[in-house]
Amino acid sequence: MKVEIVTRGVETSANAGSSNGRAKHKICAKLVEKLGGGYSSTLGIDVASAQSEEIFKWFLASLLFSDSINEGIAIKTYRECEKKGLLSPQAILEMGLEGLVTIFDQGDYGSYTFIVATRILEAAEGLKDKYEGDINRLHFSAADETDLENRLRKLAKGIGTTMVDMFLREMRDIWEKTEPPLLESAMLAARKLRLIQTTDVEAGLEQLKAMLETDELRQCRFSDLEVALIRLGKNYCRKKQCSPCPVKTECQNPK
């Protein structure tokens, strides 16, 4: 009888865990569906391939998103670069500053046109001179996470922590020396959805990663969930915009 009681208890616990996993899967799937996933996914960049060509595309896009540029403008400009084949350090160097300025003018970068064009040209030069134009070589050359971040910043003047974190956020599980911290906006949203049970940034990151290792959530890409959480926290939770929130019915702690 004792064995039977224990067995039933284990089964009940397992069923509860499975049910909880399915519930979290629905929340995560809805969140990414409503708010969108990572920028690299949106742009059709296959960073998961770990190919240098694809990773450079994402690095270029990250540079375009810097300086508080409107998301729509950055995406439009990346598409222009795509059309003109400016998706490698060599192609950018061949285009030159004048050509880049023309493209960014068309992308409505306004006063940021010359700044961003110069930064991208400098970064392309840095990659060619120091890493033979291969951004994966930069990662391989880095001693650790801090060194990796410093090497990225040194590629061009004006590459700051925000841009580097944005780039590395979608490189989790692709580059082993990559572990940027969770933004507070993502932490806030994850707590409200009860995806995590902590206020500590490092613990929160580990809880989210552990959650995605379960069978129910294994297919969910971490960077897609993370970017969706950032958008939720920034645009809804912080501003207390509960009424228009796309996942308000899943929120465990409104207001």
The 10s digit of each residue's pLDDT in 34-71 is 999 999 999 999 999 999 999 999 999 999 987 778 88
State the chain's mean pLDDT as an integer.
Answer: 89
What's the pLDDT at 3? 45
What's the pLDDT at 12? 47
Return the half-sphere exposure (C-beta side, CA atoms, 13 A cut-off) of residue 57. 24
Instruction: Decide which of 183 and 14 is more confident.
Output: 183
Share of the chain above pLDDT 90, in %: 71
**Within the chain, how many helices (H) and strands (E) appear?**
12, 0
CA 6 to chain centre: 44
3-state secondary structure 212-250: HCCHHHCCCCHHHHHHHHHHHHHHHHCCCCCCCCCCHHH
> What value does the mean pLDDT take over residues 7-26?
61
> What value does the mean pLDDT take over residues 155-176?
93
**C-alpha R_g of the chain:** 21
Return the half-sphere exposure (C-beta side, CA atoms, 13 A cut-off) of residue 135. 26
Q: What is the residue whose two structure tokens read 């590629």?
A: 155
- Domains of the chain in start order, with CATH, are 42-169 (1.10.340.30), 181-255 (no CATH)
Whether the predicted pLDDT of 2 surpasses 60: no
What's the pLDDT at 4? 47
Single pTM value for the model: 0.85
Exposure string for 112-125, b = 16+ CB within 10 A, e = fewer: bbeebbbbbbbbbb
Split at pLDDT 50, 70, 90, the class of 254 is confident
Share of the chain above pLDDT 70, in %: 89
What's the pLDDT at 18? 58
Whether the predicted pLDDT of 11 surpasses 50: no
Structure tokens, 76: 């439009």
Note whether 153 and 143 are within 8 A (CB): no
What's the pLDDT at 9? 52
Cα(42)–Cα(102) distance, integer angstroms: 25
The 10s digit of each residue's pLDDT in 190-239 is 999 999 999 999 999 999 999 888 766 667 888 899 999 999 999 999 99
Split at pLDDT 50, 70, 90, the class of 109 is confident
The 10s digit of each residue's pLDDT in 77-94 is 999 999 999 999 999 999
Whether the predicted pLDDT of 1 surpasses 50: no
